[in-house]
Structure 1
Amino acid sequence: MTRAGNDIDAAIDWLVRLQGPSVSDADWAEFDAWLSVSPENADAYDKVLVFDLEFGPLSRSIEPVVAARPDHDALVIPFRPARRAWLWSTGTALAAAFVAGAILVPMYGPGAARETVYSTGVGERKTVALEDGTRIDLNAASRISVRFTRGERHVVMGDSQAFFDVAKDPKRPFLIDAGDTRVRVVGTAFDVRRRDGSVAVAVQRGLVEVRPTTDRAAAPYRLKPGQGLSHVEGKAGARVAAVETGEITSWREGRLIYRDRPLSEIAGDMNRLFDRPVKLGDARAASMRLSGVLIVDRQDAMIGRLSNLLPVRATTTQDAVVIRAR
């Protein structure tokens, strides 16, 4: 059998296994490892999903067989893999079609894909419940678009930050495009921040795949719970580091945690929380960096705490708060 045929057969087995009633976290971890072996594995799985959605569920690979017990007083209903032969033949046919260049992607009508835009204003947070059971917590001054099709769940992030608690659905991977970065999961909980030309991903639960959209041949980053990735848009590579669980949940609990972050970033975060803009008044202030925690409450109280953490002073006018080095 060809490599394509083997990939399709393996993808069918995974689809059946993940749809089983006894699927475990270990199964998901093993599936994640299989996906990471090569891009061909992920492509094969996506193609099997498309075929499954168009022509019938491959995962229903068992069907009941009714047999009378010897005493004829009851029925025994064992199960057997009645469609296994059909699945293998389907896999062979799929592989042949892919090798020949035929793409079995159904064309959906204009109403098949549903796109919805969710946004928050300055100082506003919002929780969105999607139709599949996924929950999204949107931070202040954020905008995302969500589109569901029969084969995938797709989010595009503008300038925004959001925490995703994704419902498991192996038939529809959950994809997030944030600038030149794509995040792919099946079911997990994680935070994505896209602000000022940078993307950061932090994982609370499950496994998350992150890859650049500009280079499909690049190996993806596979993030586990307690890991975070940071990337500057337009530049190659990314940095992966340990992240405390408290940091992942902090902004939803009214705390902003910074580790060696520029004061310009802190000012930007405040400008998403309050109507009166915060400005940096000199180069020395702009070059400062902060490691610390800011409690989110009143703007004047936050500015006061910032002045205790850094050698700065603030001047408040009717139009702005200007921070200068002291």
Structure 2
Amino acid sequence: MNQPIPPFPDGDANEQAEYWRALRESPFFDSEQDQRWRAWLAASRENQEAWRQTQHFFDCIERLNPAQIDRIEREVRTANGTSHETPARRLPKRSLRMLPIAACLMLAFGLGWAFSAGFFADFRTGTGEQRRIQLSDGSSVILNTASSLSVEFSERQRVIRLHGGEAYFKVAADAARPFEVVTSGGRVRALGTAFDVKQWQGDLAVTVYEHSVRVAFADGETVESLAAGQRVASAGGKAGLPESVNLKQVGAWQERRLVFKEKPLRQVVDDLNRYRPGKIIIADPALAEHLVTGIFDADDPEAALSVIEKTLAASETRLTDALVILRRQ
């Protein structure tokens, strides 16, 4: 009897890209599936970026040597509480062998597909962790939780690739070498300044603390001079307009505080998920749009979750602490 093809996921573009990668490596992938994959890829910029990141991750996996593969498999088995060996001969294709390894890594360590780029980054932080980094040019970085970046400095340029998450940059002046932060949602260029860059789900937010920066969004929109005290962000891949912000509130994460002012619950949950192990899911679309205002301790996300549930009259279902499902009472 033929094994049925797993159903196409209803989740975000990253989950769908993972699905297509696995299907393309399987015996089920035929000309009809190829047409469906091409249509999905052409449907949106978000799909294209998710596919690019997925391919990049597996390209890196393919370059691992046998010793590295065995070490990763041992770590995954330990994290999952298992000890049995999976003979390589049962998975004759190297790329097929990598698929379960990659999936287990992401499940075992709870990092989702943000892990795919961050695993090979020069600097990264885990859940709830923050890190201060001193760069070779004299610039400094505060890397927020669940974030990752790579550094590419040369005689002519200074490039930071923010794979995901958030970072605050205090840039050392060097007119001969502009400082540029590159994300999937756009680019930020500065000479000597202080600014914050946040990337999530293909979108970009930039806040300037000192002097000014140039922001070029992936959709082609450009802010030539974003001044100190201003913020600009994209949503759904579309750039917004610059706005004045309270820098103390925006930068509160550097003091381990989470400050929300009339933020949709879905955005609040996105932030909480970066500070606690496991994942919070909102099962009710209407609840996800409820606005939240408050100041919370980043070191106690469970307390923040409890307050939010009481305020919004929401109930939770816990499948261990690893998965919390929110819905209206």
Are residue 302 (structure 1) and residue 304 (structure 2) matched?
yes
Which is richer in helix?
A: 2
Aligned twin of 1:127 = 132
Change (3 A) 1:278 1:174: same
Aligned twin of 2:227 = 224
Aligned twin of 2:194 = 189
Q: CA deviation at 1:240?
A: 0.9
Q: CA deviation at 1:180?
A: 3.6
Q: C-alpha distance in 2, partners of 1:213/1:276? A: 31
Are residue 234 (structure 1) and residue 237 (structure 2) matched?
yes
Q: C-alpha distance in 1, partners of 2:123/2:232? A: 25
Q: Is the 8 A contact 1:294 1:305 kept in 2?
A: no
Q: CA deviation at 1:275?
A: 1.0
Are residue 321 (structure 1) and residue 324 (structure 2) matched?
yes
Are residue 252 (structure 1) and residue 257 (structure 2) matched?
no
Aligned twin of 2:210 = 205
TM-score for the superposition, normalised by structure 1? 0.59
Aligned twin of 1:291 = 293
Q: Is the 8 A contact 2:203 2:237 kept in 1?
A: no
After superposition, where does 1:1-326 map in structure 2 within 5 Å?
117-213=122-218, 215=220, 219-232=222-235, 234-235=237-238, 237-318=239-320, 319-326=322-329
Q: C-alpha distance in 1, partners of 2:211/2:181? A: 16
Q: CA deviation at 1:257?
A: 1.8
Q: C-alpha distance in 2, partners of 1:214/1:282? A: 31
Identity %: 30
Q: C-alpha distance in 1, partners of 2:311/2:296? A: 9
Partner SS, residue 127 of structure 2: coil
Q: Is the 8 A contact 1:126 1:138 kept in 2?
A: yes
Q: Is the 8 A contact 2:185 2:199 kept in 1?
A: no
Q: Is the 8 A contact 1:255 1:294 kept in 2?
A: yes
Q: C-alpha distance in 2, partners of 1:274/1:187? A: 34
Q: Is the 8 A contact 1:180 1:233 kept in 2?
A: no
Partner SS, residue 239 of structure 1: coil
Q: CA deviation at 1:299?
A: 3.1
TM-score for the superposition, normalised by structure 2? 0.59
Q: CA deviation at 1:263?
A: 1.4
Change (3 A) 1:263 1:165: same
1:60-94 deviations in whole A, cap 9, x for unaligned? xxxxxxxxxxxxxxxxxxxxxxxxxxxxxxxxxxx
- Which structure 1 residue ranges, 5 or more long, are not aligned? 1-114
Partner SS, residue 304 of structure 1: helix
Change (3 A) 1:213 1:322: closer
Structure showing greater Rg: 1
Identify the structure with bigger relative contact order (alpha carbons < 8 Å, sequence gap 6+). 1
Q: C-alpha distance in 1, partners of 2:187/2:326? A: 36
Q: Matched residue pairs, number?
A: 209
1:31-56 deviations in whole A, cap 9, x for unaligned? xxxxxxxxxxxxxxxxxxxxxxxxxx
Q: CA deviation at 1:251?
A: 0.6
Q: C-alpha distance in 1, partners of 2:222/2:275? A: 37
Q: CA deviation at 1:214?
A: 5.4
Q: C-alpha distance in 1, partners of 2:195/2:166? A: 11
Q: C-alpha distance in 1, partners of 2:275/2:197? A: 18
Q: Is the 8 A contact 1:116 1:147 kept in 2?
A: no
Q: CA deviation at 1:137?
A: 0.6
Q: CA deviation at 1:308?
A: 4.1
Change (3 A) 1:297 1:308: farther
> What is the RMSD of the two structures over their aligned residues, measured on CA atoms?
2.1
Q: C-alpha distance in 1, partners of 2:290/2:236? A: 23
Q: C-alpha distance in 1, partners of 2:316/2:172? A: 45
Q: Match for 2:204: what amino acid?
A: V
- Give runs of ≥4 in structure 1 deviating > 6 Å: none
